[in-house]
Amino acid sequence: MADIDSVLNKLLDEARSADEPAAVLKSPELKALYKQIGSIDPTERADYGRRLNDAKTELERVVAERLAEMTDESVATIDITAPFDKNSGRPDLLPTDQGSIHPLMQEVEKVSDIFGRMGFQIEQSRELDDQFHMFESLNFPKDHPARDDYDTFMTKEADANGEALIAPAHTSTMQYRTLKKYKHKLENGEPIAAIVPDRVFRNEDVDARHEHTFYQVEGIYVSRGVNAGMLIATLQKFLEEYYGKKLEVRVNPFYFPFTEPSFEFALSCPFCGGQNTDCKVCSGEGWIELLGCGMIHPNVLKHADIDPNEYTGFAFGCGIDRLVMMKYGIEDVRHFHSGKLDFLKQF
């Protein structure tokens, strides 16, 4: 006949280290102790029953203790900052719960990388600027109608000059600062070569092709003997790297106050190459007007204390959202800021 104390001690030991401690409450040894009640001498049965119940209560207490201890252990091992591990497959942190880099930022990185390899420094713009950087430094005379092409948002408060601050409508606002910052390079016989990939703002009616907030990349290159051929070659090389294929480019005369001459720069459609009359990207035209560029106006150089008789330079400004839309065949610019996970997860 099994003895209550020896069975209890064995089960207590098991419960204290078991992964499933509650199993001891259903163990055959415990069942056998209950089964043998019938064969106990009736004068001792009541005493046996009491001792058996006490033993079971003790066992239940230890099982509960062990369960509490295991919960503490598992709580301590969940590190919510740990990256998802495919091998352990932790169900508390599925890979879909992790964020990813926004497609526009991924492309800003690629654009910066290409220009970086061509020797351009990467500069940052700002989200609030003043009228001097937006207009005067870029050779927009006061009250010139060209200012109307850059309709953006302004603050109600005025700056120290009594003028409203501006959410920059283009990255060209950084030309003056960049020229000043790297002017010393010219004196050392090195070129100024910088790009500014950053956010810009326009007071636009938002539709599939227009956003009030988007990205541009500004390019600035100044040295001795810089000419328009270098500008075109630089842009062509950049676009061919970005789209990973040979492209035709075309320049048409245009007007910007801060370049002379100014051009509108078009590339052959990277989607259909002009072969598809129904192409959604180029509307069957085969060409896409992509960006504005030109030779930096002598007045812009003079503003930054660079002598235009000694140095010349080119500049360009290109919308990044459009580059990306063409690369991936994205039909609506509003997807970028929509927060739609179905869209974002494709990148």
- Residues in contact with ligand DAH by the rule CB under 6 A: 170, 172, 218, 256, 258-259, 292-294, 315-317
Residue with smallest beta-carbon separation from ligand DAH: 317
Is the Cβ of residue 146 or residue 279 nearer to ligand DAH in the bound state? 146
Of 237, 327, 335, nearest in space to 281 by CA: 327
C-alpha distances out from residue 108 to 75, 122, 168, 200, 234, Å = 40, 11, 18, 14, 18
- Which helix (H) or strand (E) element contains residue 71? helix 42-77
Closest to ligand DAH by CB, 140 or 336: 140
Nearer to ligand DAH, 227 or 275 (CB): 227
Nearer to ligand DAH, 30 or 179 (CB): 179
Nearest distance in Å: CB 279, ligand DAH: 25
Least CB distance to ligand DAH at residue 93 (A)? 43
The minimum distance between CB 204 and ligand DAH, in angstroms, equals: 13
C-alpha dist (Å) from residue 257 to 134, 200, 234, 324? 12, 19, 22, 28
Between residues 21 and 168, which has the closer beta carbon with respect to ligand DAH?
Answer: 168
Which string of DSSP letters, residue by residue, matches 253-276?
EE--TTEEEEEEEEEE-TTTTT--
- The CA distance from 231 to 323, in Å, is 18
Q: Which residues contact 204 (CB under 8 A, 6 or more apart)?
A: 210, 211, 212
User: In the complex with ligand DAH, which residue's Cβ is closer, 12 or 118?
Assistant: 118
Contact 179, 304 (CB under 8 A): yes
Residues 117/193, Cβ–Cβ less than 8 Å: no
Q: Which conformational region is residue 284 in: left (phi greater than 0), alpha (psi within -120 to 50 degrees), or beta? A: left
Q: Which of 110, 102, 109 is nearest to 340 (CA)?
A: 102
For the bound state, the minimum distance from the C-beta of residue 315 to ligand DAH, rounded and expressed in Å, comes to 3
Cβ 150 to ligand DAH, closest distance in Å? 7
SS3 content of the chain, % helix, strand, coil (to 5): 45, 20, 35
Alpha carbons 166 and 128: distance in angstroms, whole number? 5
Q: Smallest gap, in angstroms, from Cβ of residue 149 to ligand DAH?
A: 7
CB of 215 to ligand DAH, least distance (A): 12
Q: How far is the CB of 175 from ligand DAH (least distance, A)?
A: 7
Q: Do residues 266 and 239 lie in contact, with contact meaning Cβ atoms separated by under 8 Å?
A: no
Closest CB to ligand DAH among residues 70, 114? 114
Nearer to ligand DAH, 295 or 326 (CB): 295
